[in-house]
Structure 1
């Protein structure tokens, strides 16, 4: 490493660290955090490559040999169910000259052959053949770069880290929450991706607060009671928990939102009530699919789960939602929504896909608009962030968590 490179890195560290230190407590992030390419690169290094990310549900790869391509920022990932029945993840980068090994978005195969020089890899990432390489060439050293994979309650998580954060608490928390809803035996009913012309943090900050729900989401606010005063919410939640217990369902909430300083991943599981008479997340609160897991009736509640900075889950008694945030560039990202239903549910017989997806399609289309309005606004050189409102406590928590993460190598 040259002296010039070290000098540049020192300058870069000073530049970003000064911005972190200058941010006013209790306020939002300054413009640079959404517009500076150098900060985006640090985001990728210290958030994307440090934490676990939910990439989907096991039902998308039901058979041995099934695979699908995913992307995070510049990284292309092959997710594959190999001959051993296990799910593997590896980078779509040939170990010879770096060409993309897989050029189909999904399918079924026993091996991946690089179209450049025909190096051939098994569907668990091992290099099986490298044509015309000299005697003594060790294939074992040149398998595709593997990522860490964990499967918990049917959810597939990946980590780019060399030594990933401890996943134990995530498994325990998901078992005590998603496990009650039967997510391990669920299947994907629908997936939809939204391209957002905004920095990835603006999209997540919008998701984690409901201060905007009343003005921006009238449809959601008809059934979800998150804009009520705290005392009213506590009263409604108490009645909800009584109904949940009466059904014999034991969902364990727990706030374990923490930075990675202790080597553990962050998770927060919390519950809240729907308005009286609402059973599920639908246009009018009516049920939309067969009950899942241990639920024999509706408890009028929702379980929400935040995991590791880019993954968010929503559990209703009759369906579930996986909400993935995918950074792309400094001023663009994607949101993928994945709807889950009972593993035996049949579209057109047990549920109507349009009714199942209506609420969150409408809500996400509204979110896309407001996030992009905000992205255009914060580009102003005169933008100065204001104080975070009391109802935005989750946003403030997320911002403080994020700043701590990017402040540490």
Structure 2
């Protein structure tokens, strides 16, 4: 009788794939995922150039000719509104020698003129003039490189991918969530940018779990029941949903968090309760702005949306929050917070900006400190990731999703 030897699976040849394959299930990521420049480049290739990213609310460029410049890693994106009202997104790279053609952070312009050799582009990216080029030069083939753009419930999303992930299910999810809160008719009340000395994944991982909310965010924890284990807030959630239904509103929710292997974007929409007597996310739990969308009263709840790995949304009945995570380098990132209010609301009459922004400013300043404490800690060569706690189930899911994405060419 011959003995057939057991077949052994060869470890992946690629060192990043080997590290991902060696990940210990149920635990955090190993040190190199936050420190290794080659892994950061893989992140940029397979997360940021593959998925959709929320850049802004469409109200930041309300008029024809309006533009704003956005930076993600090494890329610069010019977001514009054309004469016909359409929104365009182009790379800020001249098609001649690569100079930046947009040199201001925002404004209104019919044309962008490259400061190097004066190639001139219209605000939809078409090349209008290329001085002293030969007669047979094809201007139509040398417009600014355009990105895929989708606008859903007032939110502008871009994708760097040649063939973007299917956005239609995302648009439907946003329509049944943010759409109920009137985000399509909202406007930006305030924006705040936080520079963080940490790898972008540490910032996202912190955002998606509330295990830290009790010890780290006493202000948030006074009003938001999410800081409690799920089994302890089920009754509060049931009461919240009953109030929402009584208002005649059906806020969509659903878990469609999946990897991109099937050509789909990831989105998870869920709802959770505020404590009894709390109306919204504010210092004292009292309203801070006019009710939005279909809400005629406060339901005591929050709708939260995780989308595509870098974009996160929070919906209250009287205001909204966009949370953008922006990679810079392997050990730096930015977090941008965008506060939304009803489109016709006026500061000083309908809302006080300091009251509107207080809670999430305090919470984000605390998060920045926590994230940077963690970044300094994981630099230790003796750092070994520990087990993920039950209350960190969203972080565990995010880590698993991330590992699947960077392992998929």
**Large movers: runs of 4+ above 2 Å:** 227-232
Output the CA distance in 2 between the equivalents of 1:45 and 1:198.
19
Question: How far off its partner does 1:227 sit?
Answer: 2.7
**What pairs up with 1:163-174 in 2 under 5 angstroms?**
163-174=163-174
CA distance 1:73–1:12, shift in 2 (3 Å): farther
Give the number of equivalent residue pairs: 399
Residues 99-130 of structure 1: CA deviation (Å, up to 9, x unaligned): 00010110001010001000000100000100
Output the CA distance in 2 between the equivalents of 1:309 and 1:206.
13
Output the CA distance in 2 between the equivalents of 1:258 and 1:231.
25
Output the CA distance in 2 between the equivalents of 1:226 and 1:69.
35
Question: How far off its partner does 1:230 sit?
Answer: 2.5
1:329 aligns with 2:320: no
Output the CA distance in 2 between the equivalents of 1:46 and 1:53.
13
Secondary structure of the corresponding residue to residue 324 of structure 1: strand
Checking the alignment, whether the CA contact within 8 Å between 2:283 and 2:355 is kept in structure 1 is: yes
CA distance 1:12–1:93, shift in 2 (3 Å): farther
Residues 164-186 of structure 1: CA deviation (Å, up to 9, x unaligned): 00001100000000000000000
- Per the alignment, residue 4 of structure 1 pairs with none
Checking the alignment, whether the CA contact within 8 Å between 2:12 and 2:18 is kept in structure 1 is: no
- Per the alignment, residue 202 of structure 1 pairs with 202
Output the CA distance in 2 between the equivalents of 1:96 and 1:84.
27
- Per the alignment, residue 372 of structure 1 pairs with 372
Question: How far off its partner does 1:288 sit?
Answer: 0.2
> Which ranges of structure 1 fall in alignment gaps of 5 or more residues?
1-10
Output the CA distance in 1 between the equivalents of 2:227 and 2:206.
15
Output the CA distance in 1 between the equivalents of 2:268 and 2:175.
13
Question: How far off its partner does 1:249 sit?
Answer: 1.1
1:190 aligns with 2:190: yes
Output the CA distance in 2 between the equivalents of 1:74 and 1:145.
15
**What pairs up with 1:13-52 in 2 under 5 angstroms?**
14-52=14-52
Output the CA distance in 2 between the equivalents of 1:379 and 1:351.
43
Output the CA distance in 2 between the equivalents of 1:106 and 1:298.
36
Residues 315-354 of structure 1: CA deviation (Å, up to 9, x unaligned): 0000000000000000000000000000000000000000
- Per the alignment, residue 131 of structure 2 pairs with 131
Secondary structure of the corresponding residue to residue 401 of structure 2: helix
> Which ranges of structure 2 fall in alignment gaps of 5 or more residues?
1-10
**What pairs up with 1:296-311 in 2 under 5 angstroms?**
296-311=296-311
Residues 79-106 of structure 1: CA deviation (Å, up to 9, x unaligned): 0001221000000000000000010110
- Per the alignment, residue 252 of structure 1 pairs with 252
Question: How far off its partner does 1:71 sit?
Answer: 0.5
Output the CA distance in 2 between the equivalents of 1:13 and 1:375.
29
Checking the alignment, whether the CA contact within 8 Å between 2:324 and 2:335 is kept in structure 1 is: yes
Question: How far off its partner does 1:190 sit?
Answer: 0.1
- Per the alignment, residue 8 of structure 2 pairs with none
Output the CA distance in 1 between the equivalents of 2:408 and 2:251.
35
**What pairs up with 1:176-325 in 2 under 5 angstroms?**
176-325=176-325
- Per the alignment, residue 152 of structure 1 pairs with 152
Q: Supply the RMSD in Å over aligned alpha carbons.
A: 1.0
Output the CA distance in 2 between the equivalents of 1:82 and 1:116.
24
- Per the alignment, residue 401 of structure 2 pairs with 401
Residues 104-163 of structure 1: CA deviation (Å, up to 9, x unaligned): 110001010001000000100000100000110000110001000000000000000000
- Per the alignment, residue 5 of structure 2 pairs with none
Output the CA distance in 2 between the equivalents of 1:118 and 1:83.
23
Question: How far off its partner does 1:226 sit?
Answer: 1.4
Output the CA distance in 2 between the equivalents of 1:284 and 1:249.
25
- Per the alignment, residue 57 of structure 1 pairs with 57
- Per the alignment, residue 140 of structure 1 pairs with 140
Secondary structure of the corresponding residue to residue 313 of structure 2: strand
- Per the alignment, residue 79 of structure 1 pairs with 79
CA distance 1:13–1:133, shift in 2 (3 Å): farther
Output the CA distance in 2 between the equivalents of 1:58 and 1:313.
15
